[in-house]
Structure 1
């Protein structure tokens, strides 16, 4: 391997115009070792390259291969430090608050890897509660400055802050950038503004484009609810389009402005009052009052307070009303069997029934403890073991007696409230058709021929069934109306509880469904 006889030919240095890169080509020659290192550093200094301990170590390390006779040349590379731009600001969403993906599925409804996605439970809306952290606004960073080989500083570019506006009326921003909900409601973020609305407005249908709705406030739906979809809301629900075989549960009122028409099982539970255009083959439970503009046809309808159908008819199905009923017509010319239970509120009745069953359970258990206590006392109750058993049984007896007495008092108050609340008050403006069955308390009235209105049927002060024709007529015993058959009722009000809503979109005919009216299990 030939060597170079002069220093100029042994070392060649190139430096880039921006002073961010330098290459030093060194070949075998007359000079080596420490002298060659010093000569390389001198050459670098001549081109304004700053020499520090790190640079000196790099050059020395890369010159080391020249000590081997089979290495003819090495290239030493030195680089400046480029500036590192700062990170832009960003949003860190709290768990469960990030804007949903197109096919996101609601928590608790995720499909397994070998199952299809449940599109009824697509997660399209995010609801939050007051005090819940929603996201954190992470500020931008300044970045790191750079430096050339000559030591010149290169400033870095700072990151850009995230562009977001926060509604101060619904979201509070902490000093660390955490955004916390002030109210319950719908989390809204359009890419620029963050807010929480106590109202959810859906302009189209509740269908596969929205998935099921579960919301803490009021919900307004523009075009109706499709089959098998579920809407839950703590507040009011207003539906401007038709409601199909769907599930609805409200804490407030339900306004079905285009009516409810079902062809398969539905479940509608209204926490306060119902306002509907019509009901057709629907299963509805209303805690307060119901006002229907037109017909109620072949439906299962429970109303805790009053039912009004001002311009339409109640035809077929089973209806149960706790207080007042005002109808234009009941039944039809075709004599469709139409059953109306009056002075009966299933929610009260179920609660009273469950309480009675638990009182019976406590009484049975109390008798068993009392019998055991008597038996031990008759045997003398001697010995430490017998004394311990006596003490334990006496304590159990006292606790059971206390629990029974308290529950019995509550039961009597509840029953008294229920009895005072019940009313038999039926007002028919036009006609009662044949085929109508009225069940009032323990009596059943069957209509065998049409009765023209206006007519009022109800209780007198002694809770005897009477009727009155016209607005100001005299009340007469109901048995005097021709075309009626009055008999003791053998048809207790059936379970009117709507089916569980989680099964509306499932093929679960073989799956047993628990009922809200099912007696409570004994502890």
Structure 2
């Protein structure tokens, strides 16, 4: 039997990081070594291990020590702490930020009147309550010492405009009647609605409003309307700028005169677009026609009403374009593009231009360095030229890094362009020659008239398929 004093020569004790597990390792073994489980327990206790000792594991080591040579065996277990649960804010109203799309009825028709659904609140209405954090429980390590737990964090309200808290700071209420909105950083606001009973002209001037703007008239050329919420125009827009953090609805239509911009973070809905520039984060919905206009939508463009005509211009949508008629008998060039976010494709063009500029600058730097290297080789490099050489070498390294970063960004966008399998261009009635279709990285020119077809990316190319 090995004496207690000699166990130090044979055994090595180690612990997990939080000391919730103790490991015993037999580092040296010969045939004369033998001990009892009680001796092993005594060794552990002399080393400070007093909690959660597993006598069954010690018994196994004592009976067959040769099987546990040079192997760390868990011989004592503490209790791990239970961390607390963070508090949270429990909302009592809808804060739906899902893309707003036209409502599809049971018979398959699309009700374009149901495009905007606002989250309204009345003064004094409860918006959210604070749920307290739950405490945790400490653990115990193998020495019997407590292991601290991580307490749950208290949730905090993010208060925006027209929001009040109760005296206990546990509930959030609307301070006015209005529309509830949550910003990108989580702040809750209640925006009121501002109405203009007439045209936006010299009588009213430009409008910049943190809420929803309703205009019961027209927006005349060269004026600007900006709203953090939605913009609704019961009339038309002529060569003006409209920018909304929500959706834009124009009862009449848009005559852009190739100036101005209609820009919405969500949807744009209107009767027609002529010579205009329109951008929407989600969908553009047009009931009559899109003529010679630049239209971009992060998700979809619909122009499939009874007229549903798209002629000239350039349409870009992330997923789908649906039109009743595309082009005309005069073969007017009409470009439609799906399969990538418009800003991503525009970013690709910018990056390629940047890469070209970087390559030109890098070439100039390399030529200058080569000249300085030649001077150094013949011993004609003075102190000023030496300093310039060091500076140009650093510049070259920086240019190479920037070049590689731009190439990586271009490659990532091109890979995204390859993933356009769900993109689609649908023709409800007729598409004429002269139309140019782009899906992802692939282009198709329409030469002959076709009816009731749709175009998708299939088998490495753009395929034209029947709608039937």
Which residue of 2 is the match for residue 268 of structure 1? 262
Select which of 343, 364, 368 maps to 2:364.
368
The C-alpha deviation readout for 1:18-47, integer Å capped at 9, x for no partner, is xxxxxxxxxxxxxxxxxxxxxxxxxxxxxx
Assess if the C-alpha contact under 8 Å between 2:420 and 2:457 holds in 1: no
Which residue of 2 is the match for residue 510 of structure 1? none
Assess if the C-alpha contact under 8 Å between 1:330 and 1:436 holds in 2: no
Q: Alpha-carbon deviation of 1:210?
A: 0.9
Which residue of 2 is the match for residue 301 of structure 1? 295
Q: Alpha-carbon deviation of 1:236?
A: 2.4
Which residue of 2 is the match for residue 25 of structure 1? none
Q: Alpha-carbon deviation of 1:469?
A: 1.7
The C-alpha deviation readout for 1:63-120, integer Å capped at 9, x for no partner, is xxxxxxxxxxxxxxxxxxxxxxxxxxxxxxxxxxxxxxxxxxxxxxxxxxxxxxxxxx
Q: Alpha-carbon deviation of 1:425?
A: 1.7
Q: Residues of 1 paired with 2:292 and 2:360: CA distance?
A: 43
The C-alpha deviation readout for 1:355-405, integer Å capped at 9, x for no partner, is 222222222222322333233233336553343233222222222222222
Q: Residues of 1 paired with 2:434 and 2:397: CA distance?
A: 52
The DSSP-based 3-state class of the residue aligned with 1:201 is strand
1:93-112 to 2 correspondences below 5 Å: none
Assess if the C-alpha contact under 8 Å between 1:272 and 1:288 holds in 2: yes
1:306-325 to 2 correspondences below 5 Å: 306-311=300-305, 312-322=307-317, 323-325=319-321
Which residue of 1 is the match for residue 351 of structure 2? 355
Assess if the C-alpha contact under 8 Å between 2:291 and 2:313 holds in 1: no
Assess if the C-alpha contact under 8 Å between 2:365 and 2:396 holds in 1: yes
The DSSP-based 3-state class of the residue aligned with 2:239 is coil
Assess if the C-alpha contact under 8 Å between 1:305 and 1:321 holds in 2: no
Which residue of 2 is the match for residue 468 of structure 1? 465
Aligned pair count reads: 280
The DSSP-based 3-state class of the residue aligned with 2:198 is coil
Q: Residues of 2 paired with 1:383 and 1:366: CA distance?
A: 24
Assess if the C-alpha contact under 8 Å between 1:321 and 1:341 holds in 2: yes
Q: Residues of 2 paired with 1:324 and 1:435: CA distance?
A: 20
Q: Residues of 1 paired with 2:228 and 2:420: CA distance?
A: 26
Q: Alpha-carbon deviation of 1:231?
A: 1.4
Which residue of 2 is the match for residue 226 of structure 1? 220
Q: Residues of 2 paired with 1:400 and 1:336: CA distance?
A: 46
Q: Alpha-carbon deviation of 1:417?
A: 2.8
Moved over 6 A (4+): none
Q: Alpha-carbon deviation of 1:239?
A: 1.6
Distance 1:376 1:254, change over 3 A: same
User: What TM-score, normalized by structure 2, do the two folds share?
Assistant: 0.52
The DSSP-based 3-state class of the residue aligned with 1:347 is helix
Structure 1 runs not aligned, ≥5 long: 1-167, 173-181, 186-195, 472-523
The C-alpha deviation readout for 1:149-203, integer Å capped at 9, x for no partner, is xxxxxxxxxxxxxxxxxxx94699xxxxxxxxx99x9xxxxxxxxxx95543323
Higher-Rg member (1/2): 1
Q: Residues of 2 paired with 1:401 and 1:430: CA distance?
A: 52
Structure 2 runs not aligned, ≥5 long: 1-160, 166-174, 179-189
RMSD value, Cα: 3.5
Select which of 322, 337, 342 maps to 1:342.
337
Q: Alpha-carbon deviation of 1:460?
A: 0.5
Distance 1:383 1:254, change over 3 A: same
